[in-house]
Amino acid sequence: MSDRTDRNYSDKYYNDKHTEELMQEFAAGFGGKILAAAPMAGYTSWRIGGAADWLLEPATPEDVAAVLELCARHRLPLVTIGRGTNLLVSDRGIAGVVMRIGEAFSAVEYLADNRVRVGAGALLATLSRETAARGLTGLEWACGIPGNIGGALMMNAGAYGSSIGELVTEVQVAAYTGTEKAKAGVRRLSADELNFSYRSGCLDALAGLSAVALEATLQLAPGDSAASLAQIRDTLAARAKSQPLEYPSAGSVFRNPAGSHAGYLIEQAGCKGMAVGGAQVSLKHGNFIINTDGARAADVLSLIEQVRAVVAEKSGYILETEVRLLGRAN
């Protein structure tokens, strides 16, 4: 399968008593939350997924560095998530540690020259409305994207021909160096060190370093707040008309292939309405798979394969997933 995947198989990792003791010890110096056997269906917009062995929600950049170090030192598999709006988590859950960057990292600071510095846990849609209301233009397109800034940076979230990468001047990340001692630190990356491309985020080049986005600085422009807010209202109305927002989903399942649109190809191939278990290709939008009733990851994966096969047969295009697959092999 040619999908982008963050699956974390690890045959070396066992969630045994040792890990439990390790977590108890770690909790003493950790300012955030630690949850064992966290049901990931509660942390994803698809409402799908088994339990993560450990879910850690850091409260400070130091906590983030501490989690990186813990995982590196003890060889615990680690994946960082935001609001889980672009994730398909395995029914068998996620081995090791899921680090969720959320509300604790949602500070917003308005800087000189129409720049805004925003924490990775802040919601992109909220920032879109807030900046518009302040008379700053540039983020109106993002008003209907439900993830947070960290997820947007990693996915290079975009819509209507714009994407976040075009606005980013700097990103602050926590990363460990990958050396034996696995010491994690916070560093700033400037625009020319970042490498955004279509639905591919700025830190992919640093993937080997397990980089975690902590905050970003965006360059906006002076605008007319009434016009920006009107644009946002229109955009939200258009999205509500064309997207099945009344059902749990992860937005577009497939990336647009060069020269075409996945939604169009799926519709033309007659796949709308196809269903497996509780998962269905939306009748409203061909590139959305909705959770109509207790869908499992296995249902969605099977539907993805079926759609891919039909589209390939009818159009010759091989669709790749935009959603990221996480966790143990299903």
Ligand X SMILES: Cc1cc2nc3c(=O)[nH]c(=O)nc-3n(C[C@H](O)[C@H](O)[C@H](O)COP(=O)(O)OP(=O)(O)OC[C@H]3O[C@@H](n4cnc5c(N)ncnc54)[C@H](O)[C@@H]3O)c2cc1C
Where do contacts with ligand X occur on this chain (CB under 6 A)?
6, 45, 79-87, 101, 120, 145-148, 150-152, 154-155, 157-159, 203, 212-213, 243, 245, 249-251, 324
| 23 or 94: CB nearest ligand X | 94
| 65 or 145: CB nearest ligand X | 145
- Write down the residue that tokens 């309405």 correspond to: 273
Asked about 170 being catalytic, the answer comes back as: no
Q: DSSP 3-state assignment of 42? A: helix
CA distance 219 to 117: 9
The residue annotated as part of the active site, out of 210, 228, 249, 252, is 252
| 251 or 286: CB nearest ligand X | 251
CA distance 296 to 306: 16
Give me the least distance between CB of 234 and ligand X, in Å please. 15
> How many beta carbons lie within 10 A of that of residue 310, not counting itself?
16
Asked about 199 being catalytic, the answer comes back as: yes
Asked about 322 being catalytic, the answer comes back as: yes
The residue annotated as part of the active site, out of 83, 100, 199, 328, is 199
Residue 210, classified by CB atoms within 10 Å of its CB into exposed (0-12), middle (13-18) or buried (19+), is: buried
What is the H or E stretch that residue 310 is in? Answer: helix 297-315
Give me the least distance between CB of 105 and ligand X, in Å please. 8
The residue annotated as part of the active site, out of 308, 322, 324, 328, is 322
> What are φ and ψ of residue 83, in 5° steps?
-90, 5
Show the tokens assigned to 74: 């003890």
CA distance 242 to 237: 9
> What are φ and ψ of residue 169, in 5° steps?
-105, -20
| 20 or 242: CB nearest ligand X | 242
Give me the least distance between CB of 244 and ligand X, in Å please. 8
Give me the least distance between CB of 10 and ligand X, in Å please. 16
Give me the least distance between CB of 49 and ligand X, in Å please. 11
| 65 or 152: CB nearest ligand X | 152
What residues are annotated to the active site? 199, 252, 322
